[in-house]
Structure 1
């Protein structure tokens, strides 16, 4: 069944119809993506499997690149990384769907393009991702759209905007440049466990991991008695999980963080992207496997968390280590 929405041809400022490149190994998904992109007003430039596309020379990409990747072997990750660089340089929009089992590897391929990453998405989620791209096309005229779908797209755009505003106001400090998935070097920006060294910046101490994990268990216990959606707060759950990991001197994979967030993985990724973009979190390459990336608290965020725990009377003798 084709998407039940339709746009007039999506055109750029010069009036040229926008093109889309569709790469998917699963034929059913590829067919759906093609139908939905055409319904959204895009001109199909390429529609094939990843292996087929990767075996040839990568020519000009579309203004939108739709990718479905269920299995991320070495050849596929190399192709995804090349697409990330190309889209990052050209400004093309990139939407990538994958499965939870491949999320860590797929996530690690995208550091430059600000890709939308969807995890085990339904067709509606893919359509909404296209809608977010279309929201950036100036003067686009919507020809036919069911009222429910219209409201759904408006709410999604509104929620993403509110998320960015909230995180911007919470962020201890903004950093220049980069996109939502920019890559940070694992140098002085992340020091892991707090230390008692007198040379470190004096400030409120960070609780030990067991104490923080206790807070997390208390939050999770509410779901046994109430609807979990009633207390959904992915940003705070992400911060608590990363604070505990910092106290343990452990790195956290994006898959683990999505589970800790207590919301669907695609929603969790959207929060992680916004929190990285606002400077609350860092994306750190895995030193043992450059195809992967971890997420950690920025030093300024760790200090803010330590001050929060001090404010509510939960402290230890450990001090938060900050970059010199």
Structure 2
């Protein structure tokens, strides 16, 4: 045995393992390519209908990569519910790929801090998502992995900044815990009472704010002012004042960023306690997003403050 062989064995043993689940050959081929390029090892490829059984029979894997584009809602509910229960119980990271039309169906079943949603992804999107998941195990495989870690830290910092800003707008002082720069350092103590001023806030004023933001795209590149957290907060606040519910897919559209980016923001905002996700009581295959009490109070505080400053119509 040469000196290089033990090193190769150790590298192989420490590669994150991925169980690949899906039905469409083209998607499975793209996923397998991404897994290999991410420096990971596929330990099996199984159809969606057999995914939960295959997962239950294995001591691993480290990651489940699920290709779910164009999966019928009834099939998704039956198969993904079982997979969701297993990955939650065993704390397995999931990368799930779907099309825009599948967003609500998938988000109603698979959602949480261990799940990354990809919408019509390119190869680099799949690789980045896998390396996010691999990063939880201390992986540092390629430069793209470090870039992914940097992007995740920036997202965490942005969400934490929004949380603290909303807390201040809602008058949430007095020693309540702060977020400390990491989304996962959330505290349910981050709450604020509903303000009486909400009754004087007109949904049309919020919609006008949204329209004025969109008008910038006629004069500047749209991505120059990309601010998905604020766009989603405004949309949810306007919908609440109008008495409407907002689906995950609708909120992705309101974010005005690519679907994968919007889903990542939604997941982080839910985890941070700013958004709340709940099932449609009439159809369990669809999920809605609403403002959490802290975010609602912050939005009320913001619009109350700009009204008192004379920046809103009387």
**Fold conserved (TM > 0.5)?**
yes
Q: Distance in 1 between matches of 2:220 and 2:312?
A: 30
Match of 2:161 in 1: 166
RMSD: 3.1
Equivalent position to 2:28, from 24, 27, 30: 30
Q: Distance in 1 between matches of 2:147 and 2:79?
A: 33
Change (3 A) 1:42 1:209: same
Match of 1:84 in 2: 84
Which consecutive residues of structure 1, in runs of 5 or more, have no partner in the other structure?
1-7, 181-188, 190-199, 318-324
* Residue correspondences, number: 283
Match of 1:18 in 2: 16
Equivalent position to 1:233, from 227, 251, 259: 227
Q: Which structure's residues are more often helix, by fraction?
A: 2
Higher mean C-alpha deviation, range 38-47 or range 216-225: 38-47
Shift of 1:171: 5.2
Match of 1:126 in 2: 126
Question: What is the 5 A alignment of 1:178-257?
Answer: 202-203=196-197, 205-257=199-251
Shift of 1:113: 5.9
Match of 1:258 in 2: 252
Shift of 1:163: 3.0
Match of 2:70 in 1: 71
Change (3 A) 1:316 1:242: farther
Higher mean C-alpha deviation, range 19-28 or range 88-97: 19-28
Shift of 1:110: 1.7
Shift of 1:50: 1.3
Q: SS of 1:72's equivalent?
A: coil
Q: TM-score, normalised by structure 2?
A: 0.79
Which consecutive residues of structure 2, in runs of 5 or more, have no partner in the other structure?
1-7, 168-175, 185-190
Q: 1:294-315: per-residue Cα shift (whole Å, max 9, x none)?
A: 0011223222211211211167
Q: TM-score, normalised by structure 1?
A: 0.77
Higher mean C-alpha deviation, range 24-33 or range 62-71: 24-33
Q: Distance in 2 between matches of 1:212 and 1:202?
A: 17
Shift of 1:164: 4.0
Q: Distance in 1 between matches of 2:40 and 2:304?
A: 53
Higher mean C-alpha deviation, range 98-107 or range 154-163: 154-163
Higher mean C-alpha deviation, range 246-255 or range 40-49: 40-49
Shift of 1:26: 1.9
Shift of 1:135: 1.4
